[in-house]
DNA sequence: GTTGCGCTTGACGCCGCGTCAACTTCTACG
DNA sequence: CGTAGAAGTTGACGCGGCGTCAAGCGCAAC
């Protein structure tokens, strides 16, 4: 929450070129993201020009982080739309595995190439077999492919896809249910340790667990963040003020009962 | 030079499916490579089926090595067609730079993501600025782009492109000239240290230098390889036997005079 | 007025194949 | 010898993530 000095009538919105320069992508890319519904401008002037606000800048940053990781735009849309740190964490975990694998792969390739150059420059005869040595045992064998590839990396992703379209929709709806149940609990005045609220937490934890297996500590951490981070708090509090706090308090109790 | 045991009428050719299994690419890919002229089968049966021989297998291996390095197929075609270790070295040098840069990039990304996960799990509020910290200064600033990007990496590539179509053809022809001048020198009986042969070496060195700046040692190494490696020796000796040896001997002298 | 910049939409291009579709041919089996 | 099925063929379109024209509009400065 930074207070921007109110310089006259500086509208605090960026046109497409400014945002492009700031973010390092081209304006074409921004138009593309608009076209596919990944990032729409805050509003469009009556002359058709796109104007972006702070939220859009943040969303773009989020998008770029994921894009850096090689995530396809379709999946990026999923993630930023879900707008939940649990989903983010799950995805990041996957990608961390992929990143270290990629790093190692490039390290091996670089080593092979370096030694290839070396032996070439010294005039050694380089058999094709030798040149291939560095490559053979890391990509063309299905065994290795599983090690660095789809298997470990995209596990939660696979789970998600296995749900199918309806399953995915049900899962998103399931979160809606949690949020609305929390709102109802607040309006009725249930306490965090009441059976009703604890049941909601059970459902919330199950929802989380599809992507990711939280520990007692990290589950507390996540729910704490729902309170701390305005972006996520909004998701809960827009149904009923205090919902995020209620979830956190209830999750504290739930975690102690079920996760430790 | 391996003598394959002549088992009856085993034709020593592979059909497309066998080659696909051996190399790990799909038959579709092989057809694609045929279509774009990157790898044509040794011969096509009168029923239209593709048959590949040993040379094609080797060429495919070469192609796959380069493809591993992220080389676009158009450039791969250039390299395997040139069929000269100097070109290979130049390209490998470029790619070594790219590979180490990629390795470092993924290492940085992995570190950023790991710390992001950590702070998310502990429930810290993560500002987007923080999340972007690992990304900002490695890709989106033109300064950094030059460091790991087009500038250093694709220098010889740029030079090559700057030649234009005719220049490229002239350059390839220039190598023809060298080879044929060597053949003529052999037939006339010029010595390695004769002015005529030394002039040929000057031209050969100039030809090399477009891609790559050889040192005395590496220039000797390359010309030695022309002698050692049958694939490259053929290029020279097919014009006149002993051409590769003559070039090596002359290059030894030339390197001592001009490169040390 | 007009020049020129920066935005707009719309459309096609690119790479490296994957993936049908429709067809021919080789091989194995009865 | 007929036939089924496996495996080959060509041809075509699709995809992701934009790059790159082309043609036009709006606004500011001269």
User: In this predicted complex, what is the ipTM?
Assistant: 0.57
Residue among B228, B224, B200 nearest B214 (CA): B224
Measured CA to CA, the distance from residue A104 to residue B239 in angstroms comes to: 45
Contact of A95 with chain B, judged by CB distance below 8 Å, is answered with: yes
CA B218 to chain centre: 16
Strand arrangement of the beta sheet that strand A14-15 belongs to: A14-15, A50-52, A43-44
Q: Could you tell me the two tokens for A61?
A: 């940053």
Is domain A163-258 annotated with CATH 1.10.490.50?
Answer: yes
- pLDDT by residue (tens digit) across B97-107? 666 666 666 66
Quick check: pTM over 0.90? no
Quick one: CATH architecture of A14-81?
A: Orthogonal Bundle (1.10)
Contacts of A131 (CB under 8 A, 6+ apart): A116, B61, B62, B65
Whether residues A131 and B220 touch (CB distance < 8 A) is answered with no
Q: Which residues of A touch B124 (CB under 8 A)?
A: 221, 225, 228
Q: Which residues of B touch A132 (CB under 8 A)?
A: 61, 64-65
Q: Among residues 181-210 of chain B, which lie with CB inside 8 Å of chain A?
A: none
| Distance measured from the CA of protein residue B14 to the C1' of nucleotide D10, in angstroms | 21
Q: Could you tell me the two tokens for B201?
A: 């070496």
- E strands, chain A, are 14-15, 43-44, 50-52
- pLDDT by residue (tens digit) across A134-173? 444 343 333 333 333 333 334 445 555 555 555 556 666 6
The pLDDT of residue B142 is above 50: no
Nucleotide nearest to A30 (CA to C1'): D18
The pLDDT of residue B192 is above 50: yes
DSSP string, A85-142: HHHHHHHHHHHHHHHHHHHHHHHHHHHHHHHHHHHHHTT----HHHHHHHHHHHHSSH
Among the partner-chain residues A64, A100, A121, the one whose CB lies closest to the CB of B221 is: A121
| Dihedral angle computed from the Cα positions of residues A201, A207, A210 and A214, in that order, rounded to the nearest 10 degrees | -30
DSSP bridge pairs for B37: none
B123: left (phi over 0), alpha (psi -120 to 50) or beta: left
Whether residues B103 and A100 touch (CB distance < 8 A) is answered with no
Each domain of chain B, given as residue ranges in start order, spans 14-71, 85-160, 163-258
The reply to whether A47 has its C-beta less than 7 Å from any atom of strand D is yes
Contact of B124 with chain A, judged by CB distance below 8 Å, is answered with: yes
| Distance measured from the CA of protein residue A92 to the C1' of nucleotide D28, in angstroms | 47
Tell me the CATH class for B14-71.
mainly alpha
Q: Strand, coil or helix: what is A41?
A: coil
- Percentage of residues of chain B with pLDDT beyond 90: 21
Number of neighbours of residue B187 by Cβ within 10 angstroms: 10
Contact of B100 with chain A, judged by CB distance below 8 Å, is answered with: yes
- Regions of chain A where pLDDT drops below 50: 1-10, 128-129, 131-156
DSSP-based helix, strand, coil % in chain A, nearest 5: 70, 5, 25
> Which residues in range 76-115 of chain B are in contact with strand C, contact meaning CB within 7 A of any of its atoms?
none
Maximum Cα–Cα distance for chain A, whole Å? 83
More confident residue, A211 or B234: B234
């Amino acid at each position: 929450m930074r207070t921007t000095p109110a310089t006259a009538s500086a509208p605090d919105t960026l046109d497409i070129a400014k945002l492009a320069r700031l973010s390092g992508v081209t304006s074409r890319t921004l138009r593309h993201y608009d076209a596919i519904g990944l990032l729409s401008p805050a509003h469009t002037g009556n002359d058709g020009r796109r104007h972006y606000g702070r939220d859009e800048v943040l969303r773009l940053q989020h998008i770029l982080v994921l894009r850096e990781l090689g995530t396809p735009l379709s999946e990026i849309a999923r993630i930023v739309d879900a707008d939940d740190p649990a989903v983010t964490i799950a995805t990041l975990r996957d990608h961390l595995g992929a990143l270290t694998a990629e790093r190692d792969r490039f390290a091996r390739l670089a080593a092979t190439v370096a030694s290839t150059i070396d032996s070439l420059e010294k005039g050694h005869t380089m058999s094709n077999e030798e040149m291939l040595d560095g490559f053979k045992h890391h990509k063309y064998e299905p065994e290795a492919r599983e090690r660095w590839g789809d298997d470990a990396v995209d596990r939660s992703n696979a789970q998600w896809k296995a749900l199918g379209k309806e399953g995915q929709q049900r899962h998103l709806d399931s979160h809606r249910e949690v949020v609305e149940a929390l709102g109802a609990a607040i309006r009725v005045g249930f306490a965090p340790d009441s059976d009703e609220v604890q049941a909601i937490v059970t459902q919330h934890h199950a929802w989380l667990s599809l992507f990711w297996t939280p520990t007692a500590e990290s589950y507390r951490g996540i729910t704490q963040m729902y309170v701390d981070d305005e972006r996520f708090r909004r998701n809960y509090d827009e149904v009923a003020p205090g919902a995020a706090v209620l979830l956190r308090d209830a999750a504290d109790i739930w975690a102690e009962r079920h996760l430790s």
